[in-house]
Amino acid sequence: MKWIINKNSETKVIDSLARELNISTVLSSMLVKRGVTTFEQAKDFFRPNFEKLHDPFLMKDMTKATSRIKTAIEKKEKIMIFGDYDVDGTCSVALLSMFLQSAAGLSVIEYIPDRVSEGYGISFNAIDLAKSSEIKLIIALDCGIKAFKQVEYAKENNIEFIICDHHSPDDNIPNATAILNPKRNDCSYPYKDLCGCGVGFKLIQAINTSLSLKKDLIYYLDLVSLAIAADIVPLTGENRIMSFLGLQIINSNPKLGLYSLLKLKPKKEYIISDLMFYVAPRINAAGRINHANKALKLIMSTDQQESDQLSNELELLNSKRKLLEKEMTEQAVNQAEQSKNKSSIVVYSSNWNKGVIGIVASRLVDKFYKPTAVFTDSSNGMLSASLRSIKEIDLNIVLESCSHILEQHGGHKYAAGLIIKNENLQLFKEAFESAVENLHKEKVIEQELNIESIINFDQITPKFFRILKQFEPFGTGNRAPVFLTENISLKGKPFELGKDKEHIKLNLTQDKKTVFSSIGFWFTSKFSLLENKSNFSAAYTIEENNWKDRTTIQLNLKDLK
């Protein structure tokens, strides 16, 4: 792994900001790297404010969308709210449905498609249900930007669509009544990186304003912060504001369903990683193993007994998902080992669970650091795949080269999904490998670790850590800083933990003075290469460790050299 030290040359700005804020230059350098160069900008960064959110009417088609919804309210129409089966889609549906029912008195049907039988995107089954229910308006969230056929089919049946999406559009977009998507080429909305639930929140913000409802919308931000965490969108701009405020709600007055999930893992304070690695997998488990309606019902529940029961059911589904994931990953790794000399990985089994192949693809990227496609059987002689990529390879470019083979595809730069005909699997393997190989020629492929700063252990003071915590929430665009400390040594013996002794705890010291406890996940074999060296360097993040009502600073090891 190559260590990249992100040096900051703006020494005058760093020194000035450090004096103004009375903080170390390590911390002021972090601020400058994040575009914060003045006292006022630092105030906004450390104290995100709801009032700093952009006017929702800056988004293209927002006036059209609110006007159509106002008509539905006036005519007492029943509407359908449609969303994807992942966390972002489920939270989006819950947010908009709860708001329109409680604040505007609308009659609503929620619809989330079945992952296996219906797949991703707007479902024709949903449109047929809307028709039979005499619904004239469907609001689609976290999908729909490429649903040309579905929107036309709905129009033929006198059903209108409002699409709220955040995925990248093609040159043309569906002929819907309104399309809210900050990534539209003709949309001048100032912030482009909203998740689907974020776009949904801008819609309720606009409805709240246009209908003078005067509802306190901050209490919906627990759902938005969960969606932001799960969808791994940049934690910058509006996403930082909504995540920050949403976490405050989660730690004080969350939705009853979220509370039922969180109390299964009691903590003094929940942070963004708890949403990402604890709550989100359990919400996703419903759609992966059963049906996302179970998660939706939990999020929207107003009954404590019901929400506790549903939380326990999701816990069981997540345990089942973990077992499936482990078994499938082992099989996929065995297949991937057969193509070690290739630049990409394509694996397939008819027995794999369609809801888990995306996780398996991520595991293969972690292990082999190659663009990966994991296929399983779909329906009607088709194969479905989840794809994950590495920093140097854009899947949008790769799939463009394979478009002649694809029946359907969509996604992001590093994560995508697609459908092909069964007989085209070998053709896809060849086209995918060729496209990746061509991009490989242009770039040096080596896993990198970005280092924020080189620091000494004696710089990690309680004040330093207290201010470091204020940089949260961490995520894409505001990564948890990885620090590098050199010339350190081991104090005492290493302690191995985990079922297979794959994790390790080390007490590390520098100059035999300050000692920090550290943990390295899946680090036992890595440490064995260094344990006979008297001095080495460590790259790590700094975190709190809460154990038996005692809170200490702990180093989370990322690499050793």
Question: Is pLDDT of 550 > 90?
Answer: no
Question: Is pLDDT of 445 > 70?
Answer: no
Nearest to 283 by CA among 247, 320, 314: 314
Q: How far apart are CA 310 and CA 328, in angstroms?
A: 26
Question: Is pLDDT of 530 > 80?
Answer: no
For 271-284, what is the HEC assignment? Answer: CHHHHHHHHHHHHH
User: Which whole number is the average pLDDT over 525-554?
Assistant: 82
Higher pLDDT, 534 or 83: 83
pTM higher than 0.85 = yes
Confidence at 444, pLDDT banded by 50, 70, 90? low
Question: Is pLDDT of 268 > 90?
Answer: no
Higher pLDDT, 529 or 292: 292
Residue by residue, DSSP assigns 355-401 as TTHHHHHHHHHHHH-S-EEEEEE-STTEEEEEEE--TT--HHHHHHH
Question: Is pLDDT of 549 > 90?
Answer: no
> What per-residue confidence (pLDDT) applies to 408?
85
Containing 488, the helix (H) or strand (E) segment is strand 483-490
**Cβ within 8 Å of residue 3, ≥6 positions away:** 448, 449, 451, 484, 539, 559, 561
User: Which whole number is the average pLDDT over 465-494?
Assistant: 92
Q: Tell me how far CA of residue 220 lies from CA of 115, 207, 300, 302, 548, in angstroms.
A: 26, 14, 12, 14, 33
Confidence at 40, pLDDT banded by 50, 70, 90? very high
> What per-residue confidence (pLDDT) applies to 443?
64
> What per-residue confidence (pLDDT) applies to 405?
94
478: DSSP letter: B
Confidence at 531, pLDDT banded by 50, 70, 90? low
Confidence at 6, pLDDT banded by 50, 70, 90? confident
Share of the chain above pLDDT 70, in %: 99
Phi, psi of 252 (to 5 degrees): -125, -50
Nearest to 468 by CA among 316, 292, 271: 271
In this structure, what token pair is assigned to residue 388? 């994950």
Report yes or no: 91 and 223 within 8 Å, Cβ to Cβ. yes
Cis check for the bond before 281: say yes or no (omega within 30 of 0). Answer: no
Question: Is pLDDT of 532 > 80?
Answer: no
Higher pLDDT, 329 or 496: 329
In this structure, what token pair is assigned to residue 22? 């009375």
> What per-residue confidence (pLDDT) applies to 535?
86
Q: How far apart are CA 77 and CA 135, in angstroms?
A: 7
Domain 340-442 maps to which CATH number in 3.10.310.30, 3.90.1150.10, 3.40.50.720, 2.30.40.10?
3.10.310.30
Amino acid at 243: S
Nearest to 217 by CA among 235, 231, 203: 203
State pLDDT tens for residues 150-201. Answer: 999 999 999 999 999 999 898 899 999 999 999 999 999 999 999 999 999 9
Q: Give the least confident one: 25-39, 46-60, 364-378, 501-515.
A: 501-515
> What per-residue confidence (pLDDT) applies to 339?
82
State pLDDT tens for residues 100-141. Answer: 999 989 999 999 999 888 888 899 999 999 999 999 999 999
Report yes or no: 162 and 178 within 8 Å, Cβ to Cβ. yes
**Cβ within 8 Å of residue 371, ≥6 positions away:** 343, 344, 345, 365, 387, 388, 389, 390, 393, 395, 398, 432, 436
Q: What is the dihedral of CA 386, 390, 394, 396, to 10 degrees?
A: 0
Beta bridge partners of 416: 387, 411
Residue by residue, DSSP assigns 207-224 as HHHHTT----GGGGHHHH
Phi, psi of 515 (to 5 degrees): -120, 130
Confidence at 547, pLDDT banded by 50, 70, 90? confident
CATH class of the domain at 449-560: mainly beta
CATH class of the domain at 56-313: alpha beta
Beta bridge partners of 503: 497
Q: Please count the CA atoms within 13 angstroms of the CA of 370 that sit on its side-chain side.
A: 23
340: DSSP letter: T
Query: 332-353 in b/e burial notation, b at 16+ Cβ within 10 A?
Result: bbeebeebeebbbbbbbbeebb
State pLDDT tens for residues 370-429. Answer: 999 999 998 888 999 999 999 889 998 999 999 999 998 877 788 899 999 999 999 999
> What per-residue confidence (pLDDT) applies to 89?
97
Question: Is pLDDT of 523 > 90?
Answer: no
Question: Is pLDDT of 29 > 70?
Answer: yes
User: Which whole number is the average pLDDT over 30-42?
Assistant: 95
Look over the chain and give the mean of its residue pLDDT values, rounded to a whole number. Answer: 93
Question: Is pLDDT of 255 > 90?
Answer: yes
**Cβ within 8 Å of residue 355, ≥6 positions away:** 115, 116, 287, 288, 289, 321
User: Which whole number is the average pLDDT over 516-524?
Assistant: 88
> What per-residue confidence (pLDDT) applies to 442?
63
For 432-450, what is the HEC assignment? Answer: HHHHHHHHHHHCCCCCEEE
Q: Given its phi and psi angles, is residue 425 left (phi above 0), alpha (psi -120 to 50 degrees) or beta?
A: alpha
> What per-residue confidence (pLDDT) applies to 502?
82
Share of the chain above pLDDT 90, in %: 79
> What per-residue confidence (pLDDT) applies to 448?
84
For residue 228, the Cα-to-chain-centroid distance in whole angstroms is 6
> What per-residue confidence (pLDDT) applies to 270?
94
Q: How far apart are CA 468 and CA 533, in angstroms?
A: 31
Domain boundaries, given as residue ranges, for the chain: 56-313, 340-442, 449-560
